Amino acid sequence: MVPHLTTSLTGPLLALEKQIIDARPAIERWFRLKWTEHTVPFYSSVDLRNAGYKLAPVDTNLFPGGFNNLNPDFMGLCVQATMSAVQKICPDTQRFLLVPENHTRNLFYLQNVATLKRILEGAGLTVRLGSLIPDLTGPTEVETAGGEKLLLEPVQRKGNRVGLDGFDPCAVLLNNDLSAGIPGILRGIQQSVVPPLYAGWTTRRKSLHFHAYDRAAEEFAKLIGIDPWLINPVFSQCGKVNFAVQEGEECLAANVDAVLTEVREKYKQYGIDDTPFVMVKADAGTYGMGVMSVKSPDEVRGLNRKERNKMAVIKEGLPVTEVIIQEGVRTVETVNNSTAEPVVYMMDSYVVGGFYRINTERGVDENLNSRGMSFSPLAFATDCHSPDCGSNPDAPPNRFYTYGVVARLAMLAASLELEKLAEDFDEMAEPEAVTA
């Protein structure tokens, strides 16, 4: 099920994979000890790019929206991991209010919500869907792409608790990334909110995440004796950009140049005969919006109106003012001749599945999270979990183990990032006037 690596540069990645597989006991111990010190996110998903010579995370989502794309044969792992997460976060809980995104027209997203609801129910929780859609006046039935029916009910605030008609939940599980801001109705409530409100894109920044990832990758690379660059994309950031009025172009160009220069040197060091490129992304962006791929600083100077419009606003129509300039990592993976990138799903500290995001219309150096994409579930190896089973490093179980390690490293970075955000959030957490 895991497509073979199609690259002429098999050497370095196989070497990296072999190093990771050989160090497995040390790696697992390292993660175990990390999770005694840091709080593991309830769930997360990580987009990886596999360049053959390098395997790196390019985005970490704390409100994963593709549970419907996971292999249904391994739902048991999701259920078990959910039990573990609930045991840690709120053992006393038996009723969960699941708060999904507002875009009910995306029937595949609704299928994700239905799958997630089933997983939570499998772990023995009673689950109802609380919607934040402003004009939802009463319970509304929607149908998923799979034909399942879901009941969306407007979230109600009563004092310092939220709930639904006849439903007082013990905890709130967000599957809504809060791009539109932290809703007043959820501020200062008595119930546990997981992930915490400050994990939403109102407060998260990709740059903060990748700063945390730098730390995690550095320590991990030292542990197994590799160059951290092999698992970490170079990045930089610009804090005052306004694409609409062409402000901050020079900062952007300078940073693009700096990242490209650093990557060029690494390519030279490893004898990689490719043209470096960078991805310019909205620092608070998600859903693949506000992303452009550039190969030279000149490309970010004098953008035409169409290009500027594309970058100027992201989800919920928010203007972009901060950007991250990240080393582009080519994907050398293909599924049915289309460009593909792995997405790894985690619940609690466990890798529970994954899938390939496949884009028939995009190239190896482009953002695949855009129009024209489809999904293919990533297989778990059920017959061989151990590195000593005599397979090559690129055999599916080993390949998937390696993906899982790098994805968990990004999850650890998210945990460090949330600790930092929690500090800042305490100060700004003054409950706003609530109009429920």
Q: Which residues bind a copy of itself (CB under 8 A)?
A: 24-29, 32-33, 35-36, 72-77, 79-81, 83-84, 86-87, 91-95, 118-119, 121-126, 349-350, 380, 382-383, 385-388
Number of neighbouring beta carbons within 10 Å of residue 271: 10
Smallest gap from Cβ 419 to a copy of itself, in A, equals 19
Smallest gap from Cβ 80 to a copy of itself, in A, equals 5
* Helical H segments across 324-395, by residue range: none
Rg value, the chain, Cα: 21
Which amino acid would we find at residue 384? C
Please tell me what DSSP assigns to residue 280: E
Instruction: Report the interhelical angle of 396-428 vs 206-224 (nearest 10°).
Output: 130
Whether the CB-CB separation of 121 and 127 falls below 8 Å is answered with yes
Q: Phi/psi at 308 (nearest 5 deg)?
A: -65, -45
| 55 versus 77: smaller Cβ distance to a copy of itself | 77
Smallest gap from Cβ 228 to a copy of itself, in A, equals 21
| 40 versus 110: smaller Cβ distance to a copy of itself | 40
Whether the CB-CB separation of 90 and 48 falls below 8 Å is answered with no
Whether the CB-CB separation of 357 and 47 falls below 8 Å is answered with yes
Smallest gap from Cβ 358 to a copy of itself, in A, equals 24
| 340 versus 352: smaller Cβ distance to a copy of itself | 352
* Gap between the Cα atoms of 191 and 425, Å rounded: 17
Smallest gap from Cβ 235 to a copy of itself, in A, equals 30
| 135 versus 383: smaller Cβ distance to a copy of itself | 383
Smallest gap from Cβ 91 to a copy of itself, in A, equals 4
Smallest gap from Cβ 349 to a copy of itself, in A, equals 7
Number of neighbouring beta carbons within 10 Å of residue 148: 16
| 276 versus 387: smaller Cβ distance to a copy of itself | 387
| 131 versus 349: smaller Cβ distance to a copy of itself | 349
| 64 versus 387: smaller Cβ distance to a copy of itself | 387
Nearest to residue 245, comparing CAs of 138, 319, 344, 355? 319
